Amino acid sequence: MESGWVDPDEAPSPKPDEPALSHGRPSTDDEFSDPEDFLDDVSDSELLGDILEECPQEADGIDSVVVVDNVPQVGPDRLDKLRNVIRKIFSKFGEVVSEFFPDADGKTKGYIFLEFSSPNAALEAIKNADGYKLDKQHTFRVNLFSDFDKYMNVTEEWEMPQKQAFKDLGNLRYWLEEPDCRDQYSVIFDAGDRTAIFLNDNVEPTLLEERARWTETIVRWSPSGTYLATHHQRGIALWGGERFVQMQRFSHPGVQLIDFSPCERYLVTFSPALDTRDDPQAIIVWDIRTGLKKRGFHCESSSHWPIFRWSINGKYFARMTTDTLSIYETPSMGLLEKKSIKIVGVRDFLWSPADNVIAYWVPEDKNIPARVTIMEVPSRKEIRVRNLFNVVDCRLYWQRQGDFLCVRVDRTPRATQGVVTNFEIFRMREKQVPVDVVEIREPIAAFAWEPQGTKFAVLHGENPRISVTFYNVKNNGKIELIKTLDKQQANAIYWSPQGQFVVLAGLRSMNGVLAFVDTADCALMNMAEHFMASDVEWDPTGRYLVTSVSWWTHKVDNGYWVWTFQGRLLQKRPMDRFCQLLWRPCPQTLLSADQIKEIKKDQKKYHKLFEQKDRMMQYRASKDLVEKRRKLRDDFKTYRKDVQKLFNEQKSLRMELRGGLDTDELDSNTDDWVEEIVEFFVSEETEEVIEE
C-alpha cells in the first residue's frame, strides 16, 4: 500500500450512502472545518519530529556560567592578586566574559561565579579545573550554575545501584605460559591488506591468527605485550586475549601517531584534524581500562614524536615547549605543582628508565656555557649540573638500569679543525655523580648501551674505514677500552635484549651486511648478508634475530629471514609485499638480580636437559614432516583408487560411444597400433641473405 499526499481535485467522491473521508477528522457536507468539541490526537512530534529535533532549545543564559568553590577568602588588599590568579587558571579553557566575587564582612565568601563566552568553554573548565589544587588548603570544585536545580531536587530515598555484569576478558598474558617459551610476532603483508600473528619455531612458524584489513596503516604492541593496537581512520582499537578480541576503542578521527605509557595504563593519540582553540584535541590522553578521555592538548608540530615522554612507573609525563618544561602527574593530568619549569633554550630531555629523574640540556648563549642538568621529580631538586663549552650538539643516552647517563657532546675546539666528540658518562649511583670522559676524533655513526650490563659500543669513522669500539664502565671509576674492530660495513648497532651479543648491521645503502659479535671476548661469530635489508628486530629472549626487506622501502625481494643469535640462518620467509614485522614484548621478569645470577651459575646443570629437549623438538619436527608426507601419499593412493574404480564403471559407456571398440585392450597390446604422422602447413618465412 502506497502512502502520499492526494490532490483534493483528483480524490474520488463518496457515494451517497457512504460517509465522507475525513482522515481521522469528522467533516460536514457544507465545510471542512472541525466541530467545536473536536480534539486533535495527532501531536506535532509525530508530524514534524525530524524538524523539531533541529529546533533551537530555549536557554536562560546561564549555560556558560560556572561556580567555583573552595576559593581562598581574602580581603580587599589581596583581592586583585586573587583575581589575576583565577584569570590565569581559567583563561586556558576559553574567554572569561565576566566574573563575580561575592563578599561579606570585608572578605570574599569562598566561592565565585565565572561566565565564559560559550557553553563548550564552561564544560572544558569543569572537566579540567575540577579538583585543581591551588595550594595545600584549597582544592577547587567546579560546577555548572544550571546544575544547582538538579542537585536541589535530589530524592532523599536511596536506591541500591544495579549490579553490572562482569565482563571476563580472559587471560591477557596467556602467551607467557607457552610450554616451550616460544614468542609471538605480528606480520603485515599484501601491501598492508593482511595482518597475521605467528608463533615462532626453529623449523616453521605456526599461524595463530590472520585477518584481512585488520589495520589501515600499521600495528603496534603495548610495552608489555598485553595489547595489540591497530590504526583506523576513525581512531585506535586495542585487541588482546587468546583470540585477539577487541578490548577497547578510542575515537580520534584522523589519528596518525600513538604512544603507550610504560605501565600500559594510558594511551596517547595524535591527530591534527579536529584541533581548535577552545577545544584542544590534537593530542588526547586516554585511560586504557575505561576508554575515557583524560585530557586533550594542543600541538603545533609532531616532528619530535612522542611529544609526551613518560616516567618509568607512569606516574608522570613531561612535555617540552619553547623555554619551558611541563611535567604532568597522573591520574589528575594536571601540572605538577600547578606550574611549568622555566628553562630558557631547553633543547632536549629524557627520563631515566629506572627512576623518576629527568636529564635535559641547554645550548650555549653568548657568554653562558651549555649545561646538562639532572633533576629529581617531583622535588625538582637538581642532582647534578655540568657546564660544557664549544658545544655544537648534545644527545642523551640512559643505560637501561639507570646506573649511567651518557651525554654525547659534539664540540669544535678552537685549536683544531673539525668536530670532536666527547662521551661524558655520569655515574648516577655514586656520591655527587662523578663524570668520566671518552674522546673520539672521528665522525660518530651510532652509539648504544648494552641492555643488561655496563658495556657500550660506538660506531665511528667514514666508509670504507668504519670501526666499532667496545667500552666497559668499571667499578673503580675507570672506563676500560675492550676492543676495536676495524673495517666494518655497518651503520647501526643492535644489542641483544639480554646483553653480551650484538649485531653490526649495514642497512639499506650498505646492502644488508651483518656481523654477529660476542662481546665476552669480542669474537666475530659470523659474517652474513641479507641483500637490501631495511629492518632488524631481536626477539625478547635474545635467542633469535629477524632481518627483513619491507615493501614500504623496496618493492622487490620482500620478506624476512630468521637467524640465531650466533648468526646461523634458520628460515627464509618470502612474502608478497611484506611490510612490517614486530615481536610481541614480554613484561619485566619477577626474578631479582641475585636469582638471575644464581640461575646463570647453575646453567650447566640444565645444559643436558636443554640439549635433550632440543633433540626431541627436532625429532618431533622431523616426525611431523614424515607424517605430513605419509598423509599426502595416502591421500593420493585413495584418490587414485577412486579414479580407477570410476574408470572401470564407465567401460561399457566408452565402448558404446566408440562402436564396440575396446580401447583398453589396444592399450594393453601395442602391436595392433598403427602409427600415422600428420603434417600441417603453418606459415612460410622468406629471409634474404646478402653475401659480403
- Residue 555's pLDDT band (cuts 50, 70, 90): very high
> Residue 27: is its pLDDT beyond 80?
no
Mean pLDDT of 198-204: 88
Asked if 465 contacts 481 with a C-beta cutoff of 8 angstroms, the reply is no
Give the pLDDT of residue 25.
42
Give the pLDDT of residue 361.
96
DSSP 188-223: EEGGGTEEEEEE--SS-PEEEEEEETS-SS-EEE-T
- Residue 281's pLDDT band (cuts 50, 70, 90): confident
> Which distant-in-sequence residues (6+ apart) come within 8 Å of 460 by Cβ?
421, 440, 442, 443, 444, 445, 466, 467, 468, 469
Neighbours of 508 (CB within 10 A): 16
Q: Report CA Rg, the chain.
A: 38
Q: Strands of 474-575 (E only): list them.
A: 479-485, 492-495, 501-506, 513-518, 523-529, 535-538, 544-549, 559-564, 569-574
> Residue 465: is its pLDDT beyond 70?
yes
CATH code: domain 178-214+478-589 is 2.40.10.480
Considering only residues 443 and 34, tell me which one the structure prediction assigns the higher pLDDT: 443
Mean pLDDT of 261-273: 93
Give the pLDDT of residue 525.
95
Least confident piece of the model among 300-304, 531-535, 645-649: 300-304
Three-class SS of residue 427?
strand
pLDDT tens per residue, range 392-424: 999 999 999 999 999 999 988 765 667 899 999
Determine the Cα–Cα distance for residues 378 and 6; give it in Å rounded to an integer: 77
- Residue 18's pLDDT band (cuts 50, 70, 90): very low
> Residue 44: is its pLDDT beyond 50?
yes
* Residue 66, C-alpha cell as written in the block: 560556572
Give the pLDDT of residue 35.
62
DSSP 354-402: SSSEEEEEE--BTTBPEEEEEEETTT--EEEEEEE-SEEEEEEEE-TTS
**Residue 353 gets which letter from DSSP?**
S
Q: How far is CA 280 from each of CA 93, 142, 347, 410, 570, rounded to the nearest angstrom?
A: 9, 19, 25, 38, 50
Mean pLDDT of 63-82: 91
> Which distant-in-sequence residues (6+ apart) come within 8 Å of 263 by Cβ?
313, 314
DSSP 26-53: ---SS--PPPTT------HHHHHHHHHH
Give the pLDDT of residue 15.
41
- Residue 483's pLDDT band (cuts 50, 70, 90): very high
Mean pLDDT of 36-61: 59
Give the pLDDT of residue 24.
41
Residue type, 187: V
Sign (positive/negative) of CA torsion 269, 274, 275, 278? Answer: negative
Least confident piece of the model among 130-144, 395-409, 630-644: 130-144
Mean pLDDT of 527-550: 95
Determine the Cα–Cα distance for residues 481 and 338; give it in Å rounded to an integer: 47
Give the pLDDT of residue 9.
41
Query: CA neighbours within 13 Å on the CB side: how many for 445?
Result: 22
Mean pLDDT of 257-272: 94
Mean pLDDT of 458-486: 91
**Could you report how far apart the first and last alpha carbons of the chain are, in Å?**
94
Mean pLDDT of 616-637: 79
- Residue 50's pLDDT band (cuts 50, 70, 90): low
- Residue 4's pLDDT band (cuts 50, 70, 90): very low
Question: In the block, which residue shows the cell 570585608?
Answer: 106
> Residue 273: is its pLDDT beyond 80?
no
**Residue 406 gets which letter from DSSP?**
E
User: From 3.30.300.30, 3.40.50.300, 3.30.2010.10, 3.30.70.330, which CATH number describes the 65-149 domain?
Assistant: 3.30.70.330
Mean pLDDT of 124-138: 83
Give the pLDDT of residue 146.
84
* Residue 129, C-alpha cell as written in the block: 579545573
Q: Which of 346, 262, 270, 345 is nearest to 310 (CA)?
A: 262
Residues in the chain: 692
The pLDDT > 70 percentage for the chain reads 87
- Residue 503's pLDDT band (cuts 50, 70, 90): very high
Give the pLDDT of residue 91.
86
> Residue 692: is its pLDDT beyond 70?
no
Average of per-residue pLDDT values in the chain: 85
Three-class SS of residue 81?
helix
Give the pLDDT of residue 537.
96
> Residue 218: is its pLDDT beyond 90?
yes
Mean pLDDT of 656-684: 71
Mean pLDDT of 314-327: 93
Asked if 539 contacts 186 with a C-beta cutoff of 8 angstroms, the reply is no
- Residue 135's pLDDT band (cuts 50, 70, 90): confident
Alpha helical stretches, state H, 105-225:
119-129, 148-152
Would you say the pTM of this structure is higher than 0.85? no
Determine the Cα–Cα distance for residues 430 and 374; give it in Å rounded to an integer: 14
Mean pLDDT of 71-77: 91
pLDDT tens per residue, range 558-615: 999 999 999 999 999 999 999 999 999 999 888 888 888 888 888 777 777 777 777 7
Q: Which of 169, 166, 188, 187 is nearest to 242 (CA)?
A: 169
Domain residue limits, the chain: 65-149, 178-214+478-589, 217-310, 599-634
> Which distant-in-sequence residues (6+ apart) come within 8 Å of 563 by Cβ?
514, 516, 528, 544, 545, 546, 547, 569, 570
